[in-house]
Structure 1
Amino acid sequence: MKTLIHVAVAGTLALCGAGAFAAVSADEAKQLGTTLTEFGAEKAASADGAIPAYTGGLSTPPADYVANSGKWPDPYKGEKPLLSVTAENMGQYADQLTPGTQALLKRFPDFRLDVYQTHRSVFYPQWVTENTLKNATTAKLVGKVEGDGVTGAFGGIPFPIPKNGYEAVWDALLNYRRTEFSVTNMGGHLVDSSGGRTALPVLNAIEYRPYYDQKYKDNLTGPYDRAWLQILTPPTLAGQTALLDYSINYSVADQVSWAYFPSQRRTRMAPDYKYDTPAASYGGVLFWDEGNMFQGRMDRFDFKLIGKKEMIVPYDNYRLSQLPVDDVFGPKHIKPEAVRFERHRVWVVEATLKADARHAYSKRTLYIDEDSWNIVEADGYGHDGKLWRVGLNYLFPLYDGGGVFSFTYGFYDLEKGNYFLTYTTGENGAPLLRVSDHLTRPNLFTPAGMPGTGLR
């Protein structure tokens, strides 16, 4: 089967020095809503029809959905896999497999990808698509360092027709999520090389997206994203809280983080909560800039837009976070029957470490879904040039109001032989996800509010 590849060619901007870089022209923007969707994806089906045409996404909840219950039933629960990719037949699908998934298939004899019917289920409210159309001709990259910030964009995809890797990654950072996510009882587990399973800290979390808070309109200042995280268990860590602010222009304001420790009864700045600093509460298996596959400043890597490709990636994984732990975690990898893969078009961005920069990775390859603008896979390479860690994001679109939830993710460490998955069933049952189109608990998003009691 022929793979569709769109190579980034003459339109790619050569970024250098300080200042702002031009948005697309009005003529280029006319593709949006015609050959492209309003948010920049190809509207047409793939040549073989396996990827359908986009027809507006899924905006009608299934019959068993209960609004504000925190549970999101699988609208495709009756479907069966169309095919399974294994180590034995992976050669037939090699052009649709990332180096990361190929490495997992080769490493683990019983690893497989169960591939289901592709659904283009991502839904955008009209106000978001209208803002995206505006952003297309007004958004610009700014900053003293390439990719440091964005101006001229609000409430929509900033660069629906990306011309370089920095724009594509900012599209991922500013993808459409609801204004507020509240997650209760977010568990996770780490499986070591011997198959032993360890529960990771159970969290309550709120993410607030000022970039998608309509009260700001075009006048957003400060961070585009704010994350509040509080540990529930184990008892030795209970009450520890982190607050992270991500800047829309790192040349003006850097990422700011705070940490609260109950044993000390004090809140303090946490300047190390970024880049390749290991997240201690996750046993060091996750770097701070690997949240949601990639999060933070891009100044240590050169980001190159390789193009677009049809690839088999995790998608529509409504079931995964609701399953019992024993139905998810195997001794070497996540149980294949717990995961849904589909074929989608993804943007491929290659990030190479700058000669004068330091990071645990020498290269990262990011795969960005064209419909949701979420990073669905991140492959990280060590300084020996070998593939080191494979990150997979098991997203699912929200059929009640639009947007995507993409915090069920994990990484496989090919050197140590361990893996982990977050947003899974915790000690008190499956996690509950609630969304809102406005901020409901502003008091938590201050250093003084961090010792709060958590979600209710």
Structure 2
Amino acid sequence: MKTKYLPLALCMMIGGQAMAAVSEEEARQLGNNLTLWGAEQAGNADGTIPAYTGGIQPPSSYDPGRPGIRPDPFADEQALFTIDASNYKEHQERLTSGALALFEKYPDFKINVYPTHRTARYPEHYLANAKKNATSCTLIEDGLQLKGCWAGTPFPIPQNGSEVMWNRYMKYEGHAFMSQDLKTTIVDGSGTVIDTAGQTQWNQYPLWDPSRTDLLKGDEINEILRADYDSPARKSGEKLVIHDSLNMLTNARRAWSYLPGQRRVKLSPDVAYDTPSPAGAGIGTVDDSSVFYGAFDRYDFELVGKREVYIPYNMFKMYDAEQCGREQVFTKNFANPDCVRWELHRVWVVEATLKSGKRHIYPRRTLYWDEDFLGVGMSSAYDNTGSVYRVVHSESFPKYESYGHISGQFITHDLASGAYARQAYSTGRSGWHDIEPKPMNFFTPQAMSGGGVR
């Protein structure tokens, strides 16, 4: 499972010392046999993963006047084959541990495998900074802070698990985007479908301002999120703001919530780690969001290597109301397999093991991150017996109106209860779309209380 691009000797951090960046010679791979963000340019040996040729272009049916509505460019494709209970063991070398657990738990689970499309695209300023980062960006303070880094992929040639996790943390989805029609829906173990949240949400990444030309500072904000809830009735009027910083040592996350019944904003330090997901009715933890969401201080991350595995990808069909509307998608125990597109991709495999003296309900997790879209992937979270407890995968698709992708939509499967939660997904009325960045005061506690009347 070791990738040929891993150095022979990994430079590990000791105490607060920095890990070394790669050499100039190693960095010359970028733009040659590696893309500038670090993926392998070539296809695989049997041709089932194609070479990277520049990413997706909008189909002729795309209407730029409706940027959040993305027609499926692969709608005419048929599945190459289906993996089900009768043959999944024949494919286990290309299945994640979580996918294997789903097959073992649910006899009717299946995976439809489609042709692989490498749809990733990134802006020039991001790519130029990624190339500079290869020889300048390092981790300090036990991997919880950055030093000497530019606004691009921090570690295009990762040498260890922490660097892969930072690549995911600084995934590129764009400068600012929003959706007015998000939902979270759970399906309990009996198959009952329940909507638990509806919201308008804004995501903003100050780092990705294309006019930026300076080095990143050690404590600036990486991501800002604001969610204004409008359903169900008991949740209508609530608001949530989250600030995530580049400094995970002393300023990992600040979160505030507004509760209309109390007419006040309160600091919410529990919107992190293994707090049960509030919108997901406890099906999964807060840091299950988007496969992994939050600081890295509770786990040690080991880079196992790179594998070719099937993961959900290019999920346009999931948002086609004619084929995969609400009645079709929400089947018992897992989303309708005929609505979920799986493709073969190369992924970085990272084992997360709970640090001594730290607590989390998951003592171990296996994380799989796509080499092209760094925020796309799957995770398997284990219980204290070593069995897979929960499986999370992203619902990703590339943007047409700009660069990057949307990967914040996700599904969490709870194998203990047979329930699953599909969170922060667009219902397809407006979709996720790019916007002009909001002023920073839009993401403050004062702004929440100012408009927070039910």
- Sort the TM-score into its range (normalised by shorter chain): over 0.9
Partner residue of 1:89?
87
For 1:27, what is the secondary structure of its paired residue? helix
Partner residue of 2:348?
347
Partner residue of 1:290?
288
Partner residue of 2:384?
383
| Matched letter for residue 432 of structure 1 | G
Deviations 1:398-426, CA, capped at 9 Å, x for gaps: 13321010122111111111111124465
Q: Percent identity?
A: 35
Per the TM alignment, residue 281 of structure 1 is displaced from its structure 2 partner at its CA by: 2.9
**2 CA distance for matches of 1:58 and 1:253?**
37
- Which residue of the other structure, out of 96, 120, 143, is the alignment partner of 1:147? 143
Q: Which runs of 5+ in 1 are unaligned?
A: none
Per the TM alignment, residue 431 of structure 1 is displaced from its structure 2 partner at its CA by: 5.0
**1 CA distance for matches of 2:2 and 2:88?**
18
**1 CA distance for matches of 2:235 and 2:391?**
28
Partner residue of 2:398?
397
| Matched letter for residue 373 of structure 1 | L
- The answer (yes or no) to whether the contact 1:114–1:341 under 8 Å persists in 2 is yes
- Which residue of the other structure, out of 190, 196, 200, is the alignment partner of 2:192? 196
For 1:184, what is the secondary structure of its paired residue? strand
Alignment partner of 1:165 is 2:161: yes
Deviations 1:355-381, CA, capped at 9 Å, x for gaps: 211001010111000011124101100
| Matched letter for residue 342 of structure 2 | F
- Which residue of the other structure, out of 433, 441, 444, is the alignment partner of 2:442? 444
| Matched letter for residue 152 of structure 2 | G
- Which residue of the other structure, out of 47, 50, 57, is the alignment partner of 1:49? 47
**2 CA distance for matches of 1:127 and 1:244?**
26
Per the TM alignment, residue 74 of structure 1 is displaced from its structure 2 partner at its CA by: 1.1
Per the TM alignment, residue 351 of structure 1 is displaced from its structure 2 partner at its CA by: 0.2
| TM-score scaled by length of structure 1 | 0.94
Per the TM alignment, residue 68 of structure 1 is displaced from its structure 2 partner at its CA by: 4.1
Larger deviation, residues 53-62 vs 167-176:
53-62
Per the TM alignment, residue 208 of structure 1 is displaced from its structure 2 partner at its CA by: 0.5
| TM-score scaled by length of structure 2 | 0.94
Larger deviation, residues 369-378 vs 66-75:
66-75
- The answer (yes or no) to whether the contact 2:199–2:227 under 8 Å persists in 1 is yes
For 2:102, what is the secondary structure of its paired residue? helix
Larger deviation, residues 113-122 vs 10-19:
10-19
**1 CA distance for matches of 2:16 and 2:292?**
24
Partner residue of 1:39?
37
- How much is the aligned-residue C-alpha RMSD, in angstroms? 1.9
Per the TM alignment, residue 151 of structure 1 is displaced from its structure 2 partner at its CA by: 2.4
- The answer (yes or no) to whether the contact 1:395–1:404 under 8 Å persists in 2 is yes
| Structure 1 residues 299-318: aligned runs within 5 Å | 299-318=297-316
**2 CA distance for matches of 1:132 and 1:160?**
6
For 1:432, what is the secondary structure of its paired residue? coil
**2 CA distance for matches of 1:404 and 1:86?**
29
- The answer (yes or no) to whether the contact 2:277–2:283 under 8 Å persists in 1 is yes
**1 CA distance for matches of 2:154 and 2:426?**
34
**2 CA distance for matches of 1:408 and 1:62?**
26
Partner residue of 2:62?
64
Per the TM alignment, residue 72 of structure 1 is displaced from its structure 2 partner at its CA by: 1.3
Cα 1:66–1:216 change in 2 (3 A) is: closer
Per the TM alignment, residue 82 of structure 1 is displaced from its structure 2 partner at its CA by: 0.7
| Matched letter for residue 151 of structure 1 | K
- The answer (yes or no) to whether the contact 1:325–1:424 under 8 Å persists in 2 is no
- The answer (yes or no) to whether the contact 2:315–2:397 under 8 Å persists in 1 is yes
**2 CA distance for matches of 1:453 and 1:276?**
30
| Matched letter for residue 193 of structure 2 | R
Alignment partner of 1:186 is 2:182: yes
Cα 1:420–1:108 change in 2 (3 A) is: same
**2 CA distance for matches of 1:34 and 1:219?**
25
Cα 1:5–1:311 change in 2 (3 A) is: farther
For 2:76, what is the secondary structure of its paired residue? coil
**1 CA distance for matches of 2:355 and 2:28?**
36
**1 CA distance for matches of 2:38 and 2:7?**
17
- The answer (yes or no) to whether the contact 1:423–1:431 under 8 Å persists in 2 is no
Cα 1:64–1:399 change in 2 (3 A) is: closer
For 2:261, what is the secondary structure of its paired residue? coil
Deviations 1:255-305, CA, capped at 9 Å, x for gaps: 111111112221121111111011223211131212211111111111000
| Matched letter for residue 340 of structure 1 | R
Larger deviation, residues 159-168 vs 320-329:
320-329
**2 CA distance for matches of 1:202 and 1:286?**
18
Deviations 1:188-245, CA, capped at 9 Å, x for gaps: 2111111111112011111101121234432545211111111110111111111111
- The answer (yes or no) to whether the contact 2:155–2:167 under 8 Å persists in 1 is yes
| Structure 1 residues 269-288: aligned runs within 5 Å | 269-288=267-286
Partner residue of 1:73?
71
Partner residue of 1:238?
236
For 2:290, what is the secondary structure of its paired residue? helix
Partner residue of 2:171?
175
Partner residue of 2:204?
208
**1 CA distance for matches of 2:213 and 2:5?**
35
For 1:54, what is the secondary structure of its paired residue? coil
Deviations 1:333-362, CA, capped at 9 Å, x for gaps: 111110000000000000001121100101
| Matched letter for residue 93 of structure 1 | H
Per the TM alignment, residue 153 of structure 1 is displaced from its structure 2 partner at its CA by: 2.1
For 2:20, what is the secondary structure of its paired residue? coil
Cα 1:351–1:8 change in 2 (3 A) is: farther
